[in-house]
Amino acid sequence: MDVSSAGLGQTSNLDNSSAELRAAKLAKSQQETEGKAAVDLLQSAEVSPPRSADLAVGQNINIKV
């Protein structure tokens, strides 16, 4: 019975799972950062439509048939 190899295998699995967890947390953090940057960019580009000085402009449309 080889006890030392079983112990090393379990440690290796723990190291792999902790590395995967760390990588998943980093990926999530990166996605959140990119999402926030995208939302900030969209909000900074938001422009209100221009308003005419005369409110009656565009209210009447002449159509000839």
DSSP structure string for 1-65: --HHHHHHHHHHHHHHHHHHHHHHHHHHHHHHHHHHHHHHHHHHH--PPP--SSTTTTS------
Residue 52 · residue 58 · CB < 8 Å: yes
Taken as a whole, the chain contains a residue count of 65
What pLDDT tens digit does each residue of the chain (65 aa) get? 455 544 455 667 778 889 999 999 999 999 999 999 999 998 898 777 766 667 777 777 778 87
Query: pTM for the whole thing?
Result: 0.50
